[in-house]
């Protein structure tokens, strides 16, 4: 059975930040791993309470204040739990894409709808590619002496590569739509066969 990763994301974030509040954890997740992972405040705060109850994190300050400002540090037991989880073989990714699902059933809409969603997706992927490139550059600048640099760079490089591929796919899908609108299936087949033969 797949184990919920939220608790380990939080342990890793707290370790990376040395001490962190739920808000700071959320910011780190968005900045560092937001290309492929997300945690909501509704997941973060209950998980922090559970982790504290299990002794995997502890209050970092004497006066911990309101929930949004409470800062936690990882305990030795928390580091051991995180280390054990990281060493387990990850489950295969199961990608889900509502965009691709709706395109698969696109005949129930029309080419105008497809063009709108593909153009929007292309623009979003281009922005995400820019953000991922900035994250890569920031990692190089800020973490050059960090022993985790190689792992950080693997992740930020994945973000750059994935977003570039998504943008490229959206541009290609728009080309396919153009061919289809010009000449139906025959023009579309000619486009993809021509590309396959020149590859």
Return d(Cα 4, Cα 144) in angstroms, integer: 31
Mean pLDDT of the chain: 90
Q: Please, which residues have CB within 8 angstroms of residue 175's CB and are 6 or more apart in sequence?
A: 191
> pLDDT band at residue 52, thresholds of 50, 70 and 90?
very high
The pLDDT tens digits for 154-174 are: 999 998 999 999 999 999 999
Of 120, 141, 128, the residue nearest 31 (C-alpha): 128
Examine the pLDDT at 79 and tell me if it is beyond 60: yes
pLDDT score of 63: 55
Return d(Cα 171, Cα 198) in angstroms, integer: 18
Kindly state the average pLDDT of the residues 68-84. Answer: 92
How far CA 74 is from CA of 22, 31, 105, 152, in Å, comes to 13, 20, 47, 20
pLDDT score of 2: 58
Examine the pLDDT at 13 and tell me if it is beyond 70: yes
Of all residues in the chain, the percent with pLDDT exceeding 90 is 70
Of 170, 80, 190, 73, the residue nearest 127 (C-alpha): 170
Examine the pLDDT at 181 and tell me if it is beyond 80: yes
> pLDDT band at residue 175, thresholds of 50, 70 and 90?
very high
pLDDT score of 64: 58
Examine the pLDDT at 1 and tell me if it is beyond 60: no
The pLDDT tens digits for 106-146 are: 999 988 999 999 999 999 999 999 988 988 898 899 889 99
Examine the pLDDT at 87 and tell me if it is beyond 90: yes
> pLDDT band at residue 35, thresholds of 50, 70 and 90?
confident
């Amino acid at each position: 059975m797949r184990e919920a990763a939220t608790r380990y994301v939080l342990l890793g974030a707290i370790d990376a930040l040395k001490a962190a509040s739920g808000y700071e954890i959320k910011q780190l997740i968005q900045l560092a791993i937001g290309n492929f992972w997300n945690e909501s405040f509704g997941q973060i705060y209950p998980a922090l309470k559970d982790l504290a109850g299990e002794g995997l994190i502890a209050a970092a300050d004497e006066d911990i204040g309101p929930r949004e400002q409470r800062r936690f540090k990882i305990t030795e037991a928390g580091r051991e739990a995180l280390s054990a989880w990281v060493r387990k073989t990850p489950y295969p990714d199961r990608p889900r894409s509502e965009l691709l699902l709706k395109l698969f059933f696109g005949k129930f809409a029309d080419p105008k709808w497809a063009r709108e969603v593909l153009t929007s997706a292309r623009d979003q992927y281009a922005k995400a590619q820019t953000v991922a490139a900035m994250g890569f550059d920031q990692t190089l600048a800020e973490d050059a002496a960090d022993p985790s640099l190689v792992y950080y760079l693997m992740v930020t490089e994945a973000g750059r590569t994935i977003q570039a591929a998504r943008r490229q796919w959206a541009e290609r899908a728009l080309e396919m739509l153009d061919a289809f609108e010009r000449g139906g299936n025959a023009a579309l087949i000619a486009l993809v066969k021509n590309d396959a033969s020149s590859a």
